[in-house]
Amino acid sequence: MLELSGSRALVKALEREGVSVIFGLPGGAIMPVYDALLDSGIRHILARHEQSAAHMADGYARASGRAGVCMATSGPGSTNLVTGIANAYMDSSPIVAFTGQVPRAMIGRDAFQEADIIGITSPITKYNYQVRSASEIPSVVKKAFLIATSGRPGPVLVDLPKDVQTEVAGMEFPDKVEVRGLSSPPDPDPELLGRAAELLAEADAPFILAGGGVRISNAHRELVRLAELLMAPVGTTLMGKGCIREDHPLSVGVIGMHGSPLANTLIVKADVLLAVGTRFADRTTCDADAFCKEAKIIHIDIDPAEIGKNKRVHIGIEGDARKALVGLIEELAKRLKGERSAHWYERIKQVKAKLQNEDGDGLSPPRLLKRLRRLLPDDAIVTTEVGQNQMWASLHFKAYGPRNFITSGGLGTMGFGFPAAIGAKVARPDVPVVDIAGDGSFQMTMNSLATSVSEGIPVIVVILNNRMLGMVAQWQRLFFRGRYSAVEIRPPDFVKIAEAYGAQGIRAESMEEFERAVKAALGSDVTTVIDVPINPEEDVFPMVPPGCKLEDMMGV
Amino acid sequence: MKTFIFGTLVEHKPGVLQKVSNMFRQRNFNIESITVGPTEREDVARMTITMKGEEEDAVQLEKQLRKLIDVLEVKLLDPSETVVRELALVKVRADDWRARSDLVNWANIFRSRIVDVSPDAIMIEITGAPSKIDAFLELMKRFELLEISRTGITAMERGLNRIGLK
């Protein structure tokens, strides 16, 4: 048995988990861990606000498929993580957060920088735990990573009282731990797979809806194989964007409130809908009861609580998406005879050809994003902020891989995209990472420029600058008689902001300037902020008004 | 609306009740009662959860409970195969002899026990199905009720059926 302090045991346990990077910000109650980190090969990336540290860990996790780690001190350090943890929880992203806590004897006495982070984060973590003795640390860390990454992934928080970090104890580092309350997902029921295959084989207009679960279980190849077997169109949720290359002939884009017109029109005409790894979020289904009302729905999900939660389905299959799709392909191959006809296929091609044009002129976001796609290599990673920028990106920037489009879907967190881009770049230093931003969102975490520059993590930020909180303004135009309330934000000079932080700032006022700026950014080894002034009153269309059905899509 | 009773086994450690009840609040389940206590195993506690709602609420509640890492086993108990009990302590003003003799009679009829007598008040302990306790409390309204404390439901299946850990 090894005699170690809690903080040294923590660092050793992290090393044993293969952790190579931590995003964090120190403070009084976590100092022993920071001291121990000095003697470790683990890279620490210093955030300028803990929320960004959590988003960086999240971006890292989504880009790599491995758990991201963030760290903060007690009290305000830990509460600043909350938004980032909630964001990871909503999008099933595996992050492990470590927080300092006041010493054990002080807990509950409203000590300096004390916050009940266990109570606060219970509803937004898959699991959280306060360590009560140093000797627990090796197994707690192992359990934390196991819980965060297994089944449906999610955030785990480990709270470390300061005196536990300094306590010396005999440490045993287990190779395996058991968490008895963590049930492993069952193999998909072969009988249900058979019935699902039956339905799909008989379908006249099948449709496949792929969610984030397809990315998480690495089922994108199986997804495409199944679609090709069925000759069925594939739409995705925002979380599933890129699971089928969006230039694939069967890809129709993202479904939902700001879904692609093609996807939204085709899905409502489906007679059999196969939904994989999606929770039928309200931004995807819009009016959930009316959603695909006439269709027989097959739902595959690793989380049984999602089956029947938001939408009643005909066949619910619990299990890993990849395993289920493999099984379904086998069952289908037995049943399908001859060539599949695809009467709608010509129509898809026509509509797609029309949508592809960079029509119009000036710096409209759809044009800019289509141009950006052409300028970036296929394997570039794009993150987005939240609001109009995000929906334009969803509609007009084609993703070519399951981990190439990173966005805050469930929580809708403004300020996510930039730190997430930094995290993604750390995970994938070999590819360019671009944050498609709005001027409102970017201001929420733009202090991460300091991290990006000083840690040498170059990313590209494209600000679609409409000097507005654009999505709120759009809703005020559409649903509040055009009365603007608190949306005109007069942003600062982003070029100067970038320069002040030691980054490169470029303003692009024409398509040519934009193209030059992106090329300059791609060739640069420092973070570049490209500020693109756009029309302040441009709407994102199409749109399904809140409370309406997908069929009520307007602005097509 | 129907009543559903779940027997659950959970990790026996601090904070678990908070996580379970927090989930109920967050997801808007209509919980009637939760009772907790130790079991035959030192590291396992048992919670009996009673909820009101429709069938699909019960299905969702069971699934959400299972998602909690500290929840080890969940079983929806079949009312016809389950013994359901609750305990109540009832304190009634009884400062004249007529009230006292009525109280003693009724307490006997309900097979409850008088556990404390003072010059002015009587405390009765009654155990049984919640409906029996409701009926007894209804009768007690004829007197001046000073205090009621009910434990909430605990339940166990008949025969060899049990909630076991896998």
Pick from B15, B63, B165: which is nearest to A118 by CB? Answer: B15
Q: Summarize pLDDT for A11-47 with one digit per residue, the tens.
A: 999 999 999 999 999 999 999 999 999 999 999 999 9
The model's pTM is 0.95
Every domain of chain A and the residues it spans = 2-171, 190-348, 357-533
Tell me, yes or no, if A113 is annotated catalytic: yes
Does residue A364 contact residue A377 with C-beta atoms inside 8 Å? no
Q: Which pLDDT value is given to residue A287? A: 92
**Average pLDDT value for residue range A305-326:** 96
Mean pLDDT, chain A, whole residue set: 95
Q: Strand A156-161 and strand A127-130: pairing? A: parallel
Q: Which pLDDT value is given to residue A473? A: 97
Q: Which pLDDT value is given to residue A339? A: 64
Shortest Cα distance, chain A CAs vs residue B94, angstroms = 43
**Average pLDDT value for residue range B144-154:** 96
Q: Which residue of A has its CA nearest to B8?
A: A181
Q: What is the per-residue DSSP string for A201-266? A: HH-SSEEEEE-HHHHHTT-HHHHHHHHHHHT--EEE-TTTTTSS-TTSTTEEEE-STT--HHHHHH
Helices A190-202 and A321-335, axial angle in degrees (round to 10): 50
A126 interfaces chain B, CB cutoff of 8 Å:
yes
The yes-or-no answer to whether A2-171 and A357-533 have a common fold is yes
**Average pLDDT value for residue range A333-341:** 76
Q: Is A545 exposed, middle or buried (0-12, 13-18, 19+ CB in 10 A)?
A: middle
Interface probe for A, chosen from B63, B64, B74 (most Cβ of A below 10 Å), is: B63
Q: Which pLDDT value is given to residue B52? A: 96
How many other C-beta atoms can be found within 10 angstroms of the C-beta atom of residue A89? 20
The superfamily CATH assigns to domain A2-171 is Thiamin diphosphate (ThDP)-binding fold, Pyr/PP domains (3.40.50.970)
Predicted-complex ipTM score: 0.91
Pick from B18, B26, B59: which is nearest to A119 by CB? Answer: B18
pLDDT of A355 above 90: no
Q: Which pLDDT value is given to residue A143? A: 98
Q: Summarize pLDDT for A532-553 with one digit per residue, the tens.
A: 999 999 999 999 999 999 999 9
Confidence class of residue A1 from pLDDT cuts 50, 70 and 90? Answer: confident
Which domains are delineated in chain B? 2-76 (3.30.70.260), 83-154 (3.30.70.1150)
Q: Which amino acid is at A285?
A: T
**Average pLDDT value for residue range A385-412:** 98
In terms of Cα–Cα distance, which of A307, A184, A366, A532 is closest to B69? Answer: A184
B60 and A304 within 8 Å at the Cβ level: the answer is: no
Domain A190-348 matching CATH 3.40.50.1220: the answer reads yes
Tell me, yes or no, if A162 is annotated catalytic: yes
Size of interface A-B (CB pairs under 8 A): 36
pLDDT of A243 above 60: yes
Tell me, yes or no, if A494 is annotated catalytic: no
CATH architecture of the domain covering A357-533: 3-Layer(aba) Sandwich (3.40)
Confidence class of residue A182 from pLDDT cuts 50, 70 and 90? Answer: very high
Q: Which pLDDT value is given to residue A183? A: 85
Residues of chain B found within 8 Å of residue A178, distances taken between Cβ atoms? none
Q: Which pLDDT value is given to residue A462? A: 98
Pick from A181, A303, A309: which is nearest to B70 by CB? Answer: A181
- Tell me the Ramachandran region of residue A151: left when phi exceeds 0, alpha when psi lies from -120 to 50, beta otherwise: left
Q: Summarize pLDDT for A404-459 with one digit per residue, the tens.
A: 999 999 999 999 999 999 999 999 999 999 999 999 999 999 999 999 999 999 99
A182 interfaces chain B, CB cutoff of 8 Å:
yes
Give CA separation, B20 vs A258, A278, B64, B68, B70, in Å: 36, 25, 10, 8, 9
Q: Summarize pLDDT for B1-43 with one digit per residue, the tens.
A: 999 999 999 999 999 999 999 999 999 999 999 999 999 999 9
Q: Which pLDDT value is given to residue A556? A: 80
Tell me, yes or no, if A191 is annotated catalytic: no
In terms of Cα–Cα distance, which of A26, A15, A1 is closest to A142? Answer: A15
Q: Which amino acid is at A53?
A: A
Q: Which pLDDT value is given to residue A358? A: 56
pLDDT of B96 above 90: no
Number of H helices, E strands in chain B: 4, 9
From CA B16, how far away is CA A319, in angstroms rounded? Answer: 27
Residues of chain A found within 8 Å of residue B63, distances taken between Cβ atoms? 304-305, 309
Handedness of CA A324, A187, A189, A240 (dihedral sign): negative
A309 and B60 within 8 Å at the Cβ level: the answer is: yes
B68 and A181 within 8 Å at the Cβ level: the answer is: yes
Q: What percent of chain A lies above the pLDDT cut of 70? A: 96
